[in-house]
Structure 1
Amino acid sequence: MKFSRFLLSVAATAALLAAPIAASAADLMAVITPSHDNPFFKSEAEGASLRAKELGYDVIVLVHDDDPNKQSELFDTAIARGAKAIILDNAGADATVAAVKKAKDAGIPSFLIDREIKETGIAVSQIVSNNYQGAQLGAEEFVRLMGEKGNYVELVGREADTNAGIRSSGYHDIIDQYPDMKMVAQQSANWSQTEAFEKMESILQANPDIKGVISGNDTMAMGAWAALKAAGRDDIIVVGFDGSNDVRDSILEGGIKATVLQPAYRQAQWAVEQAHDYLTKGSTGKDEKQLMDCVLITIDNAPKLETFALK
């Protein structure tokens, strides 16, 4: 009898020890983004992670560094860890399709933020900022600041990123309506501050008469502004896109003139909420493709901007 009770006690203890591990694996949510060196992506990760924990999930936060091969490996990690859902800011519109399909085949739904992929029906949600609408807002302000005339430069994001092309199109659909606005250089700086600094130095040497720079994101805008300041050309108008704290501070200091806020933090939280609805109710109740409108940030509302959200 005592031996039987001992066996029962051991079995009960083992079950108790195993229970937290099983619950953790069952309630895990994976958040995968580009490098947190960019505050935009860090904000996504923080927003998603916090909201998932509020909803009772354990979270693993992973970084793919815009490398599709690394992204695929991270999907393998999420699958192996038994994640219930994946929140993703992806590493390429084409290259990501296979990874999302792999997760779907493993029974793990994906909820995309910020960047779309080229196929529908394999991710549950694709929640992106209305980049075209936002770019038009930024371009309208840029034209106004330029006085509707003058030579300008455009810094474009990564060519493999759909958002880079959409933003550029939105800019030009406004700016090209003004015949006295002349683009003298258009170069990709791959969303990089360092690369934007280097590109801006070279462009400025070849085109000293430029009056403005419009950038596909705030990180490149900061690089361009640093190069312009180093050259003593803080008279040149710079407009960015994202709504980062760094550019907010520059606007308040009289440096960069404007940016366009895309609500990264809230967008990531929204994706987690939809993942939770899908897991608990079987549906998000929304279409796969969803757009969130952007907001123009100038000296007037910059004090209200904090971590890619307006207070």
Structure 2
Amino acid sequence: MKKLLIILCVFIAIIMAGCTGKGSSSKSASAQQAVKVAYLTPSLDVPFWRYMRHGIEDELKKLIPGVEVTTYDSKDSASTQLSNAQDALTKQVKAIVISPTDSASCIAVLDLAKEAKVPVVICDIGADSGVYASFISTDNEAGARELGAYIASKLPANSEVSQIALNQARINGVLRKNGFASAVSINGIKDVDFKQMEKVNREEGEKFAQDLITAHPNLKAIFCHSEDPSMGALSAIESSRRTDILIAGFDCSPEVVDAIRAGKIAATAAQQPVLMGRYAAQCIDKLLKGQPVDREIKLGTLLVTKDNINEVYNTLKEVALSE
């Protein structure tokens, strides 16, 4: 009888072990089936890219149950972004969203993804060439032109203005620079100088604004191509005790909103990074389902001034300021 009980216990243990093994295997298989998506961003130090990350990650999690989204910070380095792409492909991602560090270096990432047969959606900045499924961007030239026209309307004839520009190796930087310059050319207003950023941060904005104020004593406005440099330029102008220089920005942040409300920044052309991220996620979802996507999706900007900030603020929170 005792022998029979021992045999029965061993038999039950074997069955239970087998069931547990099946459960583990099933769980492991389920984990392996999780869809992996990578977002390659230039720099999470810049608020704009954090807003875009929110749009991408939040929308993907709504559309694809159990999706694993990994955001890779490229630290403003093209070589780091390429290394991040290699890492993502090694981990067998099913799709990539990229915001390039610059338009030329993006080509190498696109080539890698093409070789691995992984679809790519470009979200902002753009690439000089290469194969990609969709490109979501802002109409940078139109946004900068509208901003330039607004600033020009606030300046006397023959005023001097300048720009603190994005790296001109980025397509969006070229478009912003040209759009603003073309708009302010009315009434003899001259775009006399520009400085080209690399890190796109507050320190660069402050340093370059100081340089421009010193080099051009008659300067009446500075156009900064991004939100943090706009705040840096404001610090430089306040330190120089100049009250006659307008600041125009591109993009938005809570600090920029406060500065516009206070009349310290004249206006900004706010992109919609959260919305751009959502569109990128929707493209990825369609691509993974074998559905067609639009080759190009272009969004407008919101001109934000002290006069309209209360009207547009709720929209800004929804499409531009969530992270």
Report the TM-score when normalising by structure 2: 0.88
- Where 1:123 maps in the other structure, the secondary structure is coil
Q: Distance in 2 between matches of 1:129 and 1:201?
A: 29
Alignment correspondent of 1:118: 128
| Alignment pair present for 1:160 and 2:165 | no
Aligned position for 1:92: 102
Aligned Cα RMSD in Å?
2.1
Amino acid at match of 1:35: S
Matching residue of 2:236? 227
140-149 vs 64-73, which moves further:
140-149
Q: 1:250 aligns with which of 226, 243, 259?
A: 259
Tell whether 2:81 aligns with 1:71.
yes
Unaligned ranges ≥5, structure 1:
none
Gaps of 5+ in 2: 1-7
Give the Å deviation of 1:28.
1.3
Answer yes or no: is the 8 Å Cα contact 2:252–2:321 preserved in 1.
Answer: no
CA distance in 2 between partners of 1:144 and 1:235 (Å): 15
Pair 1:36 & 2:44 matched: yes
* 1:41 partner letter: W
After TM superposition, the structure 1 stretch with the greater mean CA deviation from structure 2, 183-192 or 212-221, is 183-192
Query: SS in structure 1 opposite 2:126?
Result: coil
Which amino acid in the other structure matches residue 91 of structure 2?
R
Deviation per residue, 1:42-80 (Å, 9 max, x gap): 101111111111122221111112211111111112112
Contact residue 192 and residue 219 of structure 1 kept, 8 A? yes
Is residue 104 of structure 1 aligned with residue 114 of structure 2?
yes
For the residue of structure 1 that corresponds to 2:303, the secondary structure is: strand
Cα distance in 1, alignment partners of residues 89 and 62 from structure 2: 23
Question: How far, CA to CA, are the matches of 2:36 and 2:110 in structure 1?
Answer: 17
2:202 and 2:230 in contact (8 A); partners too = yes
CA distance in 2, matches of 1:86, 1:30: 5
Tell me the residue number matched to 1:174: 183
Structure 1 segments, 4+ long, off by >6 Å, are none
Distance 2:308 2:185 in 1: 27
- Do residues 60 (structure 1) and 70 (structure 2) align? yes
Question: For residues 254 and 10 of structure 1, what CA distance do their matches in structure 2 show?
Answer: 66
Structure 2 distance, partners of 1:81, 1:90, is 20
Q: Give the one of 301, 307, 310 matched to 2:308.
A: 301
* Residue deviations 1:118-163 (CA, integer Å, cap 9, x gap): 115x110111100011011111111012144412222111122111
Greater alpha carbon shift after TM alignment, 163-172 vs 198-207 = 198-207
Give the letter for the 1:274 counterpart.
C
The answer to whether the 8 A contact 1:31-1:59 is kept is yes
| Deviations 1:3-50, CA, capped at 9 Å, x for gaps | 8746743541331331332133xx111111121211101101111111
TM-score (norm 1): 0.91
Residue deviations 1:80-123 (CA, integer Å, cap 9, x gap): 22211111111111111121121122121111111110115x11
* Alpha-carbon contact 2:164-2:224 (below 8 Å) kept: yes
SS of match in other structure, 1:260 = strand
Aligned residues between the structures: 305
Larger radius of gyration: 2
Distance in 2 (alpha carbons) for counterparts of 1:78 and 1:310: 27
